[in-house]
Structure 1
Amino acid sequence: MTPQDSTTEETTPPSGDAPDQEAAATPSAYGLGRRLRIMGAVLAGGLAVVLALLLWLGVLVPAKQEAAGYSAADSAYAATAIEHNAQAVQLSALAPGRSTDDAVLALAVEVGEASAGRVSELAGWLEDREIAVPAAGREALALAADGLDTELPDNGSGPRAGASAHSHEGGNHGMLTDEQVDALAALDGSEFDIALLSALVEHHYGGLQPADEEIAEGKDADAKALAQAEADAIRIEVEEVREVLAAIGGPGSNDGSGS
């Protein structure tokens, strides 16, 4: 046997091995193709969901709003105003058990009930349009239903109507932070009275911005009317709060101008 013959014999695989290799390669190729087809189906399904969501957000929701006669600004105002008034209810509910001043207690009830009334009206506007009502609104109504003129049991940080009633971010439209509410709830007597009324003045003034924006830019006549009523009520309530605040020796007690 020549060296050339030897090389040929060593490098050429037995003829019986070739079919096995082909058989092994065939299932692998089939499996890869099957996986690719599955991945393609998954991606196509995901793309369909995304496209459907974009269609809903970009076409169907605006179309629904247009048909119902309201805009995104209208619904945003209603949700923001509910959150804002819900905190006013929460602040008012702190007074029983912390204040002993009859004027402060009476004013807290007045402000709390008025704010709860606005929450109810705004929630009705949202529900009529099948828009979800913020949880804080439902919790504020439950808190008001328990009675704003009686001391409610709490853990020392004020009455809470539910899990999200204490989740305000604060710093926006006069909203108090959780820490500010806790600090207020830790006070009593005249310190609490002055701190509560001062907070309500700032809080109420903050609520004028979304109301005034809705009056100027809103589309829905009912939403604009609710915003106008709120703005008018806020201006009256702020003056009432400032008068009581001055009477108990708070900021502005010397000249009656408030802070």
Structure 2
Amino acid sequence: MTAFTRAGLVVAGALLLAACGDSAEESGEAREFNDADVTFAQMMIPHHEQALEMAKLADGRASDAEVKELAGQIEQAQDPEIRTMKGWLKSWKQPTTADSMPGMDHGSGHGGDGMMSGTDMEELTALKGTEFDKAFAEMMIEHHNGAIDMAEDEQKNGKYADAKKMADAIVKGQSAEVEQLQGALDRLS
């Protein structure tokens, strides 16, 4: 065996060990999640996506400055969270959606998760001005309360530290937004 061949084998072996080390480290980190973390991410992604859809409706429909501001805040907070949760699921080798998610019936809406039905979304889309503002506030309060419930479940049952941190942020942020939305609703009614 020539010195060149030995050197090549040493380099190849070092690269193989480095790759194994990285993947072992990554899989160690990836194992620090549980079913509650997976369920949290899989349920929160479509929930956040619907909140974004609702927030985008405010553009051109909302007349109240506070409602417009809250819609903007919702978009800024939830879009990056969706990307983060999709990244977690990918790193955990889990699908971004679950085949069967109890309580997540997108068709009927108004489950414990706060998801709006297709009919609710159509009604909201048809409104403008103060009527839109009031309906948006009412629906987003219900929607946020559903997200808060899911985040509280993650706080109690989750294992993945970053998911628990996001759950904390959702509880704090969306609780504050619920108060603001309720204040706007009281003012508009």
- Name the structure 2 match of 1:168: 106
Change (3 A) 1:69 1:190: same
Q: Which residue matches 1:236? A: 176
Q: Could you tell me the TM-score, scaled by structure 2's length? A: 0.74
Provide the residue aligned with 2:44 in structure 1: 81
Query: 2:69 & 2:122 partners in 1: Cα distance?
Result: 22
Question: Contact 2:89–2:96 at 8 Å: present in 1 too?
Answer: yes
Match of 2:71 among 103, 108, 116: 108
Match of 2:33 in 1: 70
Deviations 1:9-47 (Å, cap 9, x if unpaired)?
Answer: xxxxxxxxxxxxxxxxxxxxxxxxxxxxxxxxxxxxxxx
**Can you give the 5+ residue segments of structure 1 that lack an aligned partner in the other structure?**
1-63, 135-166, 251-259
RMSD of equivalent CA atoms = 2.3
**1: distance between equivalents of 2:57 and 2:30?**
43
Q: Per chain length, whose mean CA-contact separation is higher, i.e. which structure has more relative contact order (CA < 8 Å, sep 6+)?
A: 2
Which deviates further from its counterpart, 107-116 or 177-186?
107-116
**Partner of residue 95 from structure 1, selected from 58, 62, 66:** 58
CA distance in 2, matches of 1:209, 1:67: 25
1:109-166: per-residue Cα shift (whole Å, max 9, x none)?
A: 11222121321222222222232334xxxxxxxxxxxxxxxxxxxxxxxxxxxxxxxx
Question: For 2:173 and 2:87, how far apart are their aligned partners in 1?
Answer: 19
Q: TM-score, normalised by structure 1?
A: 0.55
1:180 is aligned with what amino acid? D
2:57 aligns to what SS in structure 1? Answer: coil
Map residues 168-247 of structure 1 onto 2, 5 A cutoff. 168-169=106-107, 170-172=109-111, 173-247=113-187
Residue by residue over 1:75-111, the C-alpha shift from the partner in whole angstroms, topping out at 9 and shown as x without a partner, is 0111111111111100001111212332222221112
Q: Kindly provide the amino acid, as one letter, of the partner of residue 217 in structure 1.
A: N
User: Which of these two proteins has the greater Rg computed from alpha carbons?
Assistant: 1
- Contact preservation (8 Å) 2:30, 2:91: no
Question: Structure 2: how far apart are the matches of 1:65 and 1:203?
Answer: 35
Bigger share in helix: 2
Shift of 1:67: 6.5
1:98 and 1:189 in contact (8 A); partners too:
yes
Cα distance in 2 for partners of 1:87, 1:225 equals 22
Task: State, as a whole percentage, how many aligned pairs show the same letter.
Answer: 33
- In structure 1, distance between residues paired with 2:133 and 2:28: 44
CA contact (8 A) 2:44 2:147 kept: yes
In structure 1, give the amino acid aligned to 2:177. Answer: E
Structure 2 gap ranges (5+):
1-26, 98-104
